[in-house]
Structure 1
Amino acid sequence: LELYRHATRAPEPYWHEALRRDPGQTDSLVGLARCAYAAGDPEQARDHLERAVGRLTRLHRSPRDTTAIYLLGLVREELGDDPGAYDAYAQAAWSRACRAGAGYRMARLDARAGRHEQALARLADVRRTEPEHLQALALTVVCHGRLRQHAAAAEVLAAARALDPLDAWLRHLDGLAASGDAQILLDVAIELAGVGEHEAALACLAEAEGREDHRPAGQPAVRPLLAYHRAHVLRLAGRPADAAAERARARTLDATWCFPGRLADAAVLREAADADPGDARARSLLGHWTYAAGRRARALTLWRQAVALDPDDAVAWRNIGLAAVNHERDLAAAREAYDRACAVAPGDARLLYERDQLAALTGASPADRLDALMGGGELDRDDLAVEALHLMITEGRADQALMVLGRRRLHPWEGGEGQALLAWDRAHAHGALDALAEARPRDAVDHVRAALAPPRSLGEARHPLASTAYLHLLLGDALAADGDPAAAADAWATAAAQRGDFVEMSTQEHGEQTFWTVLALRRTGRHDAADELTASLRAYRDRYAAEVPRVDYFATSLPDLLLFEEDPLRVRDRRVLFLDAQLALLAGRAPEAEELLRRPELAASRHAADLRHAVARRGAELLRGDTHGDTHVGAHPADAEPAERARTYPHP
């Protein structure tokens, strides 16, 4: 799990369980230390590593694997303990696996402290172990230059440039533009500052700021980070007043699209936040990094500090709302945060979309959600536009949704697989039901046939395993009403032959489409098969209701996990509620089904909205048993149980 990142599983619980069984288990301590170090918690990492090193060295000072000791050196260096880090690196270098890495880190500390001859000796050993270590070669050039050994510096530089002509640090040392990319120039400046080349680092940062003016579209912004790194270098260079002025400038720079991603970014932001209690920008950016690193509670604290200092930070407000749902499970706090974000940035499509998803999570009515979306500005994002289309359809405005779909080209987005196609299907299905209710069967046929042949402008096609039982049932009904019984029988047969479905990127034994397959079987007079399938659906419902919901280990597309994390038990119970409504209809208990479909839990359910519309427009005709209008509905003895059965949601 550490090696191959997983969408829903993490290695930490396994390491913690191993430590519960053996508190000194070194692999688990090292694994947890790596995670803590990467998450910007060096103190926690140090504690884990000191325990691991204590176990490894209790019988012999030099264990076979010195990885833990090397990592302890990194952590001590991060904490400002250079002498302790140097000792750890020296001990770690006993193992050949860590010899080059540890030796290079010792050389950096030597160079930073002005011990250039000692640094060169270390670097020579690194190059014997790993001849193509480009950072060691670059630092060798720097140390030779400091000792005015220009011929030796030029020789090493030429050899290094031959190994990799594109290496940015080596290009900088050769007097060339290190890169045309501000992010890479920042990387070079960090390397230079780390070995004590403060003036060169400042020059590199100035070049990066010039490149930021020509940043390609879609690349993260870096200008505020450049200022914070410049303040850090100025402090290292003994210029505290200039460092304070640069931190003040950083607070005025536009932070749009600025996402810190390096440990070094987090370090300079922490330094700025500690130096200036009023620096909202540093706290906000550090919150972004900290949340991405998995420290949600700490990130929330930072964002709340940021908006207390700067209430106009829409991104921080948005992130507070997101974390309030996913970390604190506080929907009221999330609503308040999103309202503040939208007030600061009215018309921002992403904020409107996310606030609407939060409204759905809290049970807001589709009408209120649609009013909020339509009053929020242009629907210029596809996910926002498609959500608005679904709400239009639910609110009886399918014709308006079809007009929008007819003139807009949509594009697939991660987590939105099938949503545009679903809106197309729903709009035409609603149109067909309305046409049948108004005695316009030819229009109903046209609607369903259009649904079955989605245009390329939707940006996606129907999956071969996806069920179309609902559409083919409607097509058969429309054709029968239009006086074409043979074609109607073919359409019903197509619906009746379908089993299972493909939803949320996986195949399912039963789904919401099974209901329509049962009706198609009844249309064709196959009542025994319909009863058998109904019983199978009921058994599936009971098994599903009793299972603890789990995300499949091999799931690769998880749209429900991309934004707000909802209690999987609530998701399960909501689906069970809808299946109960379908089973009640199949058993002829229409009033009970209608009561279930009106439950608040199903307010945001598109399946429930579609079934309510179908029942409202067609009534008993929807459930008729065969082509002659027989009202037989294939009631099963088990369906005669009290209505309370449909309201029971067992929690294991």
Structure 2
Amino acid sequence: MCPGRATSRHRLNKNPRDGEASMLLGCALERQGDEAGAWDCYYKASWSGNCRDAAWWALARLAMKRGDTADALEKVNTSLQFNASNHLAMGLKALALANSGRAKEAQAYIVVCLEQYPLSYPLHCARWMIAPGDESRASLLRVTGRRGINGSLLAGWLLSIGQKQAAKEVLEVLDCQEALPMLWRASLSDDANKRQRLIAEAECCHARKVRFPNTLDEVQMLQTLSDSAFARYLLGCFWYSKRRYEEAVSCWRETLEKSPDYAPAHRLLGVYAWNKQQDAAQALAYLQRAVELEPENARFLFELDFLKKSLGTPVNERLETLAARKAVVLKRDDLTAELLSLWNAAGHYADAATILGTRVFHPWEGGEGKVTGQYLLNQLHRALQLIERKAFTQAARCLNEALRYPDNLGEGRLPGQTDNDIWYLLGYCAEQAGDAHRAAEYYQLALQGGSTLDAGRYYNDQPADYLFWQGIALRKSGNSTQAEQHFQNFIAWARQHRDDVPQADFFAVSLPDLVVLDVSAQRQHQQHCLFIEALGHLGLGNVSASQQAMQRLLQLNPAHDKAHLIRHALQSGMFS
């Protein structure tokens, strides 16, 4: 009965849990221009401890905006009682004092506050507004660093308290050479020619220093520039970041209506088509158009190639595109890594070796193991070429070089890396050269590491092909029964796990990734299972079944690095 009575007792209680709902409603109404409604909501929110300082601060802003400086001063003092470190409120108080004819008191207040908060942008801004001069101007420029984010913050603050002219003047003084402050100035300008000039300058500045809008003040400013293709583009980026995809796409389409050759909008519509609509044809068309419009943009080319890779485009077709734009490809390490992968897959080992030997690479988020992996593959492919020519001494030299990474690759070897493939091939070379004792030592080294298969989700997991070479080494060491069981486990694992649904993981080496195009984890898992199945059949000597699984794998991913390596090893007669 007690729960029922409690429910009955509170059924008609219309008081909210706290003032948060009223505070949020007030903010929404203010943004929509209903300041009277916002005023009432802020007052309701002020009774609650968790909203008190913010509510009184909001009321002070609205009072200042309507020119009632006395009321603004009263309310900002109340707000500062509950949150004395609100820099925007301190700046408002100083301006309210000055506008009330108490300029000296305002300056004294600023001096006191700056002793405790010497880096407060609003206080330095208020000091310059109250007493313009070289010293206050220099201090404002020094403290803000003329950074765009600081200019945007000050512009939004001043507009929120009704100081439009002051916002224009502050932005002029700061003269931030970034896109958003330039757009602020354009939105506040009454001169149509100046407005267009500032918008054009903003677009140029954005190319030099990128910062996307991330505050509601910036959003409302961009909404006033409805005639600007660039402003609509930035507004679309904001909506997309908030998962409001329809608004984002609408903005980008407006951008293209005003400026059909604006490549970034084509690119983002392509990303949207792929990630949210799963429309491969439209995504490809948009990204290809972006590359056509900006052929020197390496990021656009990388994303187009990444999409083609995801769609299973043949190696030679992708290679033809990248090789024709090699100068653009070499602007980015990640795109260069893709070119290396294609060269290694297509048998252009000398081309890949030249880049790997001369280019200085740098680490990037999500790129762990990509360049060093191509280095290892290139050394192994070149060694297999030499083995095919019976040049076992040179092949062994090539394999030994693979045990150490050159400094220019920008990445070191992983602890515990077993290199089963290298040790096995070294053993094979020694055996073919007639050195049975050394061959046995190498085959023993090829047995290192664990023997348990897994989903292979991280770059530092033991690769599945290492376990394959481990099994081949078992057979070479005289453990044929154990080797056969080893490869039977491959096939059993692939069959058991082929229908698994991989879950998103956020471990340090799995995410984040800088690639904006989504990748199907299910498709990657399917490739992994096919690869393991192919290795299992090959280890058991069933070459036909292995090639069938490998063919299905290469239909999904024609550029699968390890599949091409195993094929090369098979062609070289390693397993005959």
Instruction: Return the offset for 1:251.
Output: 4.0
What are the equivalent positions in structure 2 for 1:217-296 lying under 5 Å apart? 222-223=178-179, 225-234=180-189, 241-242=190-191, 244-253=192-201, 254=204, 255-256=206-207, 257-273=210-226, 276=227, 279-296=228-245
Report the Cα distance in structure 1 between the residues aligned to 2:269 and 2:236, rounded to whole angstroms. 10
In the alignment, what sits opposite 1:16?
Answer: none
2:155 maps to 1:189: yes
What one-letter code is carried by the residue in structure 2 that aligns with 1:195? I
- Per-residue Cα deviation, 1:350-388 (whole angstroms, up to 9, x for no partner): 111111111111111111111111112411211111111
What are the equivalent positions in structure 2 for 1:435-454 lying under 5 Å apart? 435-454=386-405
What one-letter code is carried by the residue in structure 2 that aligns with 1:568? A
Deviates more, 1:318-327 or 1:569-578: 569-578
Report the Cα distance in structure 2 between the residues aligned to 1:287 and 1:623, rounded to whole angstroms. 56
Report the Cα distance in structure 2 between the residues aligned to 1:487 and 1:518, rounded to whole angstroms. 19
> Is contact 1:521–1:530 with CA below 8 Å preserved after alignment?
yes
In the alignment, what sits opposite 1:320?
Answer: 269
> Is contact 1:501–1:508 with CA below 8 Å preserved after alignment?
no
Over 3 Å counting, the alpha-carbon distance change for 1:155 and 1:332 in structure 2 is same
Equivalent position SS for 1:174: helix
In the alignment, what sits opposite 2:117?
Answer: 164
Equivalent position SS for 2:489: helix
In the alignment, what sits opposite 2:363?
Answer: 412
Report the Cα distance in structure 2 between the residues aligned to 1:147 and 1:382, rounded to whole angstroms. 60
What are the equivalent positions in structure 2 for 1:35-74 lying under 5 Å apart? 59-60=12-13, 62-74=15-27
In the alignment, what sits opposite 1:95?
Answer: 48
In the alignment, what sits opposite 1:353?
Answer: 302
Over 3 Å counting, the alpha-carbon distance change for 1:147 and 1:560 in structure 2 is closer
Instruction: Return the offset for 1:427.
Output: 0.3
What are the equivalent positions in structure 2 for 1:355-370 lying under 5 Å apart? 355-370=304-319
2:81 maps to 1:134: no
Over 3 Å counting, the alpha-carbon distance change for 1:532 and 1:595 in structure 2 is closer
2:506 maps to 1:543: no
Gaps (5+ residues) in structure 1? 1-56, 213-221, 235-240, 625-652
Instruction: Return the offset for 1:113.
Output: 0.9
In the alignment, what sits opposite 1:582?
Answer: 535
Report the Cα distance in structure 2 between the residues aligned to 1:602 and 1:517, rounded to whole angstroms. 25
Instruction: Return the offset for 1:563.
Output: 2.6
Equivalent position SS for 1:470: helix
Equivalent position SS for 2:464: coil
Over 3 Å counting, the alpha-carbon distance change for 1:139 and 1:59 in structure 2 is farther
What are the equivalent positions in structure 2 for 1:549-564 lying under 5 Å apart? 549-552=502-505, 554=507, 557-558=510-511, 562-564=515-517
In the alignment, what sits opposite 2:428?
Answer: 477
What are the equivalent positions in structure 2 for 1:543-622 lying under 5 Å apart? 543-552=496-505, 554=507, 557-558=510-511, 562-599=515-552, 600-618=555-573, 622=574
Report the Cα distance in structure 2 between the residues aligned to 1:110 and 1:62, rounded to whole angstroms. 27
> Is contact 1:247–1:272 with CA below 8 Å preserved after alignment?
no
Equivalent position SS for 1:411: coil
Instruction: Return the offset for 1:61.
Output: 5.3
Report the Cα distance in structure 2 between the residues aligned to 1:65 and 1:466, rounded to whole angstroms. 57
Equivalent position SS for 2:541: coil
> Is contact 1:469–1:496 with CA below 8 Å preserved after alignment?
yes
2:294 maps to 1:342: no
What one-letter code is carried by the residue in structure 1 that aligns with 2:216? L
Selected match of 1:422 from 373, 379, 383: 373
Over 3 Å counting, the alpha-carbon distance change for 1:415 and 1:553 in structure 2 is closer
> Is contact 1:512–1:607 with CA below 8 Å preserved after alignment?
yes
Report the Cα distance in structure 2 between the residues aligned to 1:486 and 1:181, rounded to whole angstroms. 71
In the alignment, what sits opposite 2:440?
Answer: 489
Report the Cα distance in structure 1 between the residues aligned to 2:418 and 2:18, rounded to whole angstroms. 56
> Is contact 2:266–2:286 with CA below 8 Å preserved after alignment?
yes
User: What is the RMSD computed on CA atoms of the aligned residues?
Assistant: 2.2
Report the Cα distance in structure 1 between the residues aligned to 2:291 and 2:355, rounded to whole angstroms. 25
Q: How many residues align?
A: 543
What are the equivalent positions in structure 2 for 1:113-124 lying under 5 Å apart? 113-124=66-77
> Is contact 1:325–1:565 with CA below 8 Å preserved after alignment?
yes
Over 3 Å counting, the alpha-carbon distance change for 1:247 and 1:62 in structure 2 is farther
2:132 maps to 1:180: no
Report the Cα distance in structure 1 between the residues aligned to 2:463 and 2:293, rounded to whole angstroms. 46
Instruction: Return the offset for 1:533.
Output: 2.1
Instruction: Return the offset for 1:537.
Output: 2.6
> Is contact 2:505–2:511 with CA below 8 Å preserved after alignment?
no
Q: Among the aligned pairs, what percent are the same residue?
A: 29
- Per-residue Cα deviation, 1:494-529 (whole angstroms, up to 9, x for no partner): 111322589553665872322111111111111222
Over 3 Å counting, the alpha-carbon distance change for 1:610 and 1:298 in structure 2 is farther
In the alignment, what sits opposite 1:630?
Answer: none
In the alignment, what sits opposite 1:206?
Answer: 172
Instruction: Return the offset for 1:188.
Output: 1.2
Runs of 4+ in 1 over 6 A off after TM superposition: none
- Per-residue Cα deviation, 1:8-42 (whole angstroms, up to 9, x for no partner): xxxxxxxxxxxxxxxxxxxxxxxxxxxxxxxxxxx
In the alignment, what sits opposite 2:132?
Answer: none
Report the Cα distance in structure 1 between the residues aligned to 2:112 and 2:509, rounded to whole angstroms. 45
2:572 maps to 1:623: no
Report the Cα distance in structure 1 between the residues aligned to 2:326 and 2:480, rounded to whole angstroms. 52
> Is contact 2:60–2:71 with CA below 8 Å preserved after alignment?
yes
What one-letter code is carried by the residue in structure 1 that aligns with 2:155? A
> Is contact 2:484–2:539 with CA below 8 Å preserved after alignment?
no
Deviates more, 1:553-562 or 1:381-390: 553-562
What one-letter code is carried by the residue in structure 1 that aligns with 2:94? V
Over 3 Å counting, the alpha-carbon distance change for 1:138 and 1:251 in structure 2 is closer
Selected match of 1:79 from 32, 50, 62: 32
What one-letter code is carried by the residue in structure 2 that aligns with 1:196? G
Deviates more, 1:71-80 or 1:293-302: 293-302
Over 3 Å counting, the alpha-carbon distance change for 1:477 and 1:341 in structure 2 is same
In the alignment, what sits opposite 1:216?
Answer: none
> Is contact 1:69–1:92 with CA below 8 Å preserved after alignment?
yes
> Is contact 2:151–2:174 with CA below 8 Å preserved after alignment?
yes
Report the Cα distance in structure 2 between the residues aligned to 1:229 and 1:498, rounded to whole angstroms. 60
Report the Cα distance in structure 2 between the residues aligned to 1:559 and 1:232, rounded to whole angstroms. 36
| TM-score, L = length of structure 1 | 0.79
Gaps (5+ residues) in structure 2? 1-9, 129-135
> Is contact 1:414–1:559 with CA below 8 Å preserved after alignment?
yes
Over 3 Å counting, the alpha-carbon distance change for 1:591 and 1:493 in structure 2 is same
